[in-house]
Structure 1
């Protein structure tokens, strides 16, 4: 018997940052190591994401309870894992996927499987006395991600008159992660003062960014650039702009037709949105655009990438859902040049590593991401450094579940000292 063999696995229903139930898993090893991991939840979700199992009981949490997922951990998964060495990550993940037996983890739930997967990785790292990022990424894991900070919210992450879901400040000119975080945090606080001076609301959305009612989507960019300058930074050199349209949320058919109802844009086609993007990229220091088109608009995505892929990073989220099957198709069809990576979108640590690896092997970038329904768990921060993909979004400079990831990255940077690397590309 190994000291890192699994002694017990147990799941508990807890609440996420939106006050909705999620799964927390506790894993205990033979040497007494005991850890936990909590699973995030998305609001803007892709149709082909792994299934987040909910109870559907209207008398508990409006049907969003996760007792079934927890029971699946306690009664089905746990008995199969007792006695297995926690360092056998790939084998453990494969075993859970086989126990589930469905393509999208609909039987046991991706939230059940991922909670166990994350907790096992954390337990193995702790048992062997190494930091999680080093355990997952090896000796060369030392690249800190550029924090793409969401400072203005819209779409399904806010209740306001902005169609596009996220407008992010990207400190690509900073010399280090800690300085980059300072750049965008100062910009965030400066933006608040600007919004107040203009009579705009300074309440925040799910991910901590401000959610004012604006006259247009373009005004969001102009306000951020004003904040960048007033904070003492140079737009395009110190801080650039990234956008997540989350276009599926305002597509009328999820393919090639859209309706920008809040900003006065009206009905638009894929070509119209591409023309708009070309105009903005020429006018503003935009370096990344996520989900510019809807999840089934493969043809439009390819057109967008052909038009702008040599100028900016074109990221697919809902269209790829961290699934190697869809990412591989995207690579073959030149659909984008990067994929968003979310652990709970695919449902296990091993499959998420596979998705990142596939991207990097084909010259794509992998953009690590939190979810709108988060927890204080910092697994994502370590995972981002382990993967070395270079950039991450974890929300704004508000809401503790967002800042927990940034603060963990500060700890990792301090741990690495002069060995830490930080650069955009």
Structure 2
């Protein structure tokens, strides 16, 4: 009987140069696997807690406390357990913590061990991670969301919206979609350079030109798509991550600084409706604040039968919050970030709940990432159908795309959904 023989963690760096947790699990058969935990910049206030040291090291962002929690409390309880019972491993860590947001152990400690356990179990059984987690039904290659222009909290420019993304929806397979996105990305770089704007890239590989309005990035992207030889709206569609919680002022209005406007929830919904009528936008993430549920209701009634409305800060991968959203008919899609909820098992619970209720799921990275490609396997395992993991730039982003290329080559009946997730 194979059992967990050792568990430990150490402090490593993420793609922003900040410390994060790398957890390692060793099994009694000699299998040894690790996992590195990502970290977000724009975070929902109901996310599971990322434990930081708060001392003089790394400007207070060290994770030695979380590392010590893995090396002591978590290791003490997990050694001897079966690595093949993921739910038991995750439930044990949740019991040790005893809080509803992992404020004792740290979600970064728990998730690292949870992912490393799943990876070790898969390796021990000589199975790829997506097959171990998803079984024979894991055969859907995700449609990617490529963040190619940054604004908001992700950039020091005049654009209010946080991410402008392209989605290759009009292709037969993942490989062709990835190639098209890469070609659009390189053409976009040429266009921005011709505008005498900087082509330096942000945390997620996107460009951050100082454009005049919230529409201009869409217009520039359309030029890049056409210059690359693709059909906008047919082969390549546009997705937005507004991160609207960052736009709210003290009076509850949404401030569009680039346009010198303050809008109510209803007015902002009409703003989106106008954008969608002019451009091939098929997905809007966090179009309203995480606290503006009344506004989300208006948004869903207005656009929910036309485009994908993704809840990130709204749902924070939390099954109980997603259930409330389902009951109130809020949004129609859930962004899936494992470190928002804290473990592999809890993430899977949220995904299954969403899928049972016909909500789309988008597996997602964080702005602080690593070379770890866990979410690529996870997206395929749970048949999410979509993945958001940055531009085709920066090693920590391409690690996920390159892993998906490997997975696609292994699955005999790989399915690429193309436009299917967005049909209502």
TM-score (norm 1): 0.97
> Does residue 191 of the first structure (1) align with residue 201 of the second (2)?
no
8 Å contact kept, 1:256–1:300 = no
1:272-287 correspondence runs (5 A): 272-287=267-282
> Does residue 258 of the first structure (1) align with residue 254 of the second (2)?
yes
Partner SS state of residue 122, structure 2: helix
8 Å contact kept, 1:256–1:297 = no
Find the counterpart in structure 2 of residue 422 from structure 1: 416
1:125-204 correspondence runs (5 A): 125-204=122-201
RMSD of Structure 2 on Structure 1 (CA): 0.9
> Does residue 411 of the first structure (1) align with residue 406 of the second (2)?
yes
Partner SS state of residue 51, structure 1: coil
Cα distance between partner residues in 1 of 2:409 and 2:311: 32
> Does residue 109 of the first structure (1) align with residue 106 of the second (2)?
yes
Find the counterpart in structure 2 of residue 48 from structure 1: 46
Of residues 7, 15, 19 in structure 1, which corresponds to 2:17?
Answer: 19
8 Å contact kept, 1:376–1:400 = yes
Find the counterpart in structure 1 of residue 383 from structure 2: 388
User: Once the two structures are superposed, what CA deviation does each residue of 1:364-405 show, in whole Å capped at 9, x if it has no partner?
Assistant: 101110000001000000000001011111000111000000
1:331-346 correspondence runs (5 A): 331-346=326-341
Shift of 1:265: 3.8
Cα distance between partner residues in 1 of 2:155 and 2:195: 19
Unaligned runs of 5+ in 1: none
User: Once the two structures are superposed, what CA deviation does each residue of 1:105-152 show, in whole Å capped at 9, x if it has no partner?
Assistant: 000000000000000000000000000000001101010000111100
Of residues 369, 372, 375 in structure 1, which corresponds to 2:367?
Answer: 372
Cα distance between partner residues in 2 of 1:381 and 1:73: 25
1:81-100 correspondence runs (5 A): 81-100=78-97
Cα distance between partner residues in 2 of 1:222 and 1:137: 39
Of residues 83, 104, 119 in structure 2, which corresponds to 1:122?
Answer: 119
Shift of 1:83: 0.9
Find the counterpart in structure 1 of residue 342 from structure 2: 347
Shift of 1:257: 1.5
Shift of 1:419: 1.2
Unaligned runs of 5+ in 2: none
Cα distance between partner residues in 1 of 2:103 and 2:299: 33
Cα distance between partner residues in 2 of 1:162 and 1:185: 23
User: Once the two structures are superposed, what CA deviation does each residue of 1:259-301 show, in whole Å capped at 9, x if it has no partner?
Assistant: 112x124211111211110001111101100000011000001
Cα distance between partner residues in 1 of 2:294 and 2:164: 25
After TM superposition, the structure 1 stretch with the greater mean CA deviation from structure 2, 198-207 or 314-323, is 198-207
1:225-240 correspondence runs (5 A): 225-240=222-237
Cα distance between partner residues in 2 of 1:268 and 1:13: 44
Find the counterpart in structure 2 of residue 293 from structure 1: 288
Shift of 1:335: 1.1
Of residues 316, 320, 342 in structure 2, which corresponds to 1:321?
Answer: 316
User: Once the two structures are superposed, what CA deviation does each residue of 1:184-221 show, in whole Å capped at 9, x if it has no partner?
Assistant: 11000000000111111111111010011100110000
8 Å contact kept, 1:156–1:165 = yes
Cα distance between partner residues in 2 of 1:184 and 1:265: 33
TM-score (norm 2): 0.98
Cα distance between partner residues in 1 of 2:135 and 2:352: 14
> Does residue 397 of the first structure (1) align with residue 395 of the second (2)?
no
Cα distance between partner residues in 1 of 2:52 and 2:245: 23
> Does residue 65 of the first structure (1) align with residue 62 of the second (2)?
yes
Partner SS state of residue 327, structure 1: helix
Closer/same/farther in 2, CA of residues 24 and 225 from structure 1, 3 Å limit: same
Cα distance between partner residues in 2 of 1:17 and 1:252: 31
Shift of 1:256: 4.3
Partner SS state of residue 273, structure 2: helix
